[in-house]
Amino acid sequence: MFRHLTLTPDSGGVSIDQTDPSSVEALVGQTVVLPCRVSPPPSSTVKVDWRRDGDPLSTRRHHQKPNGSLLVGPLSQLDSGWFLCVATREQERDHRYIYLSVSVGSSLVPILMPRDGPVLRFSIDRSGSSQLEMRSGQTARLSCTIAPPSALKAVSIQWTKDGQTLSDPRLTQHSDGSLSIVSLQAADSALYTCTASSEQQLEQRTLQLKVQADLKITTAPNNIQVPEGSTALLPCVVSGDNVNIGWSRNGVPVRPDGRLVLKSSDGSLILNSVTPADEGTYTCNAYTGIYSVSATAEVKLLLRQLHPPLSEEEEGGRLW
């Protein structure tokens, strides 16, 4: 999840002041400021990007202020909705959502504040891990558990992927606020943010989903017999992303030496000048993240015959 820290300009990070109001009310025709005070301020290295429903904003009625906040107007009722401010600096990133409510007439629908009466406060359960690692084809379920449960009926929940609204039919938001993604693909790897809001409060939780491509050995080694002094090739071609391949012989890791023992770029093992000491059970181990697959093959030497076999005539006429 994104950390909201107070950073000095030389720290290499970026932060957004989260103490500003998360909702703004205005009338049609007015001009308002959506607060997004960025530290350090926007510059050639600090970029601020405003979006609505995942789309960049036009410059005709939207103007960014020097501190990162957004000036919007003149307003229409169509401007009502969630706005996203994203600040980036090198590899650091921070963001915040602001809800703009635009009304017609001289009166606005009041947002109840604590002084107006008892307010049901809520929170998002953050006890679980914020990182989820899955494999292609599986189904992921990202939780957004509201506490206490009684607050769920008064809370609106919206999910975004890397700051953009979701439109994939493989994604389903459930009544408990969780998000499920079926038939996972590598492209589903992203930061998913759950935004829970009521009239008085807005809470967020960000989860990181990593989808590993299907890990499979497409070309496995076979049992082979080779003459002593020749070369043995044990193929091990694996499909998947960021795959590491290692070999072992009789359970002991095989260390390529660049001369007699080589490992090719596709992971296959090459044994040069095979000797009896090279016989054994060889296992190709392929792994990525928490997933692994393996394949095993036997390497044996061909027995050399000291004399060629004799024909029946030769055998019968052999002199002793």
Decide if pLDDT at 313 tops 80.
no
Contacts (Cβ under 8 Å, ≥6 apart) of 38: 14, 15, 16, 17, 46, 48, 67, 68, 87, 94
Q: How many domains does the chain have?
A: 3
Residue ending a domain, among 212, 237, 265, is 212
Interval 118-133: pLDDT, tens = 556 788 888 888 888 8
Can you give the pLDDT at residue 62? Answer: 85
Decide if pLDDT at 269 tops 90.
yes
Interval 49-77: pLDDT, tens = 888 866 778 777 888 888 888 888 888 87
Residue 313 lies in a domain: no
Decide if pLDDT at 142 tops 90.
yes
Q: Are 191 and 245 within one domain? A: no
Interval 153-198: pLDDT, tens = 888 898 988 888 888 889 999 989 999 999 998 889 889 988 888 8
Can you give the pLDDT at residue 281? Answer: 96
Q: Are 277 and 296 within one domain? A: yes
Determine what percent of the chain is predicted with pLDDT higher than 90: 26
Contacts (Cβ under 8 Å, ≥6 apart) of 118: none
Decide if pLDDT at 12 tops 80.
no
Residue 29 lies in a domain: yes
Q: Which of residues 205 and 298 earns the better pLDDT score?
A: 298
Q: What are residue 34's DSSP bridge partners?
A: 70
Residue ending a domain, among 165, 197, 212, is 212
Residue 308 lies in a domain: no
Q: Are 159 and 204 within one domain? A: yes
Residue 3 lies in a domain: no
Residue 315 lies in a domain: no
Interval 70-115: pLDDT, tens = 888 888 878 888 888 889 988 888 888 888 888 775 433 333 333 4
Q: Are 222 and 297 within one domain? A: yes
Determine what percent of the chain is predicted with pLDDT higher than 70: 84
pLDDT tier, 316 (very low <50, low <70, confident <90, very high otherwise): low
Can you give the pLDDT at residue 125? Answer: 87
Where in the sequence is the domain holding 151, given as residue range(s)? 123-212
Residue 154 lies in a domain: yes
Can you give the pLDDT at residue 99? Answer: 85
Residue 311 lies in a domain: no
pLDDT tier, 320 (very low <50, low <70, confident <90, very high otherwise): very low
Residue 109 lies in a domain: no
Q: Which amino acid is at 192?
A: Y
Q: Are 100 and 20 within one domain? A: yes
Selection from 62-66, 108-112, 238-242, 292-296 with the highest mean pLDDT = 292-296
Decide if pLDDT at 23 tops 70.
yes
Q: Are 237 and 294 within one domain? A: yes
Q: Are 55 and 91 within one domain? A: yes
Interval 279-289: pLDDT, tens = 999 999 998 87
Can you give the pLDDT at residue 174? Answer: 92
Q: Which of residues 233 and 135 earns the better pLDDT score?
A: 233
Contacts (Cβ under 8 Å, ≥6 apart) of 193: 95, 159, 160, 163, 204, 205, 206, 207
Can you give the pLDDT at residue 318? Answer: 42
Could you tell me the CATH number of the domain that includes residue 201?
Answer: 2.60.40.10
Interval 297-310: pLDDT, tens = 999 998 765 455 55
